[in-house]
Amino acid sequence: SQTIHQWPATLVQPVGSPLSLECTVEGTSNPNLYWYRQAAGRGLQLLFYSVGIGQISSEVPQNLSASRPQDRQFILSSKKLLLSDSGFYLCAWSLDSIYSYEQYFGPGTRLTVT
Amino acid sequence: KNQVEQSPQSLIILEGKNCTLQCNYTVSPFSNLRWYKQDTGRGPVSLTIMTFSENTKSNGRYTATLDADTKQSSLHITASQLSDSASYICVVTAYGGATNKLIFGTGTLLAVQP
């Protein structure tokens, strides 16, 4: 069966510090991978998605970046965090098919920028 | 503009009672509609998924309906339990090239009280 992992679960970082969140998927190959952010009282916002190694698409301009160094690894990074980067970050995966309807979400990372 | 609107924003009901959550959408081209349950601090988990041709889908005590003509969906919860307390998110998928695009509602926060 497939599983998705995210770490860390919670993170408190000062403004201006770097960020690295990691997501890994097990039990499937060549998945589509996604990073979402959920701000308090807001819906999920798609930040990045990837259809393959080294292929990253950005949905919104921001000071965050994403990388996919391996087939089942997706990393969200920032060189300098802003207060507005606080939120709940979710990684998700889906099968490599436009007819795949289901996205499976990880447990999330709660990021607080102070 | 693709949008998904949910109502009410929040709801409090007594254990054992039924409730209905609403979702209106303007998404094109429409692929499917999903309802997710998100426990506090956790990733969303899919409850039901319906394509254009499906009017209703059940998952235990959860029943979702879809009216593609009026672009409305509802999620009915029967005989609520304390564990139903969560945010319920309506998600509509639009066909989008290499990967489908998900449009998220902001959710309805349900609190079930004893």
Name the residue in chain A with its Cα closest to that of B3.
Answer: A43
CB-CB under 8 Å, A49 with B34: no
- Judged by a CB distance cut-off of 8 A, whether residue B44 touches chain A is yes
* Per-position DSSP letters for chain A, written without gaps between them: --EEEEE-SEEEE-TT--EEEEEEEES-SS-EEEEEEE-TTS-EEEEEEEEETTEEEESS-SSEEEEEEETTEEEEEESS--GGG-EEEEEEEE-SSTT----EE---EEEEE-
| Strand B108-113 relative to strand B10-14, pairing | parallel
- Write out chain B residues lying below 8 Å of A11, CB-based: none
Please report the pLDDT score of residue A79 as a whole number. Answer: 95
B21 vs B100, higher pLDDT: B21
Residues 3-22 of B with CB under 8 A from A: 4
Ranges A9-18, A87-96, B22-31, B94-103, most confident: A9-18
Residues in chain B, overall count = 114
CA B43, chain centre distance (Å): 15
The tens place of each residue's pLDDT in chain A, 114 residues long, gives 889 999 999 999 999 999 999 999 999 888 999 999 998 777 888 899 898 898 898 887 678 999 999 999 999 999 999 999 999 999 999 886 655 567 899 999 999 999
Q: Closest Cα partner for B65 from B12, B21, B109?
A: B21
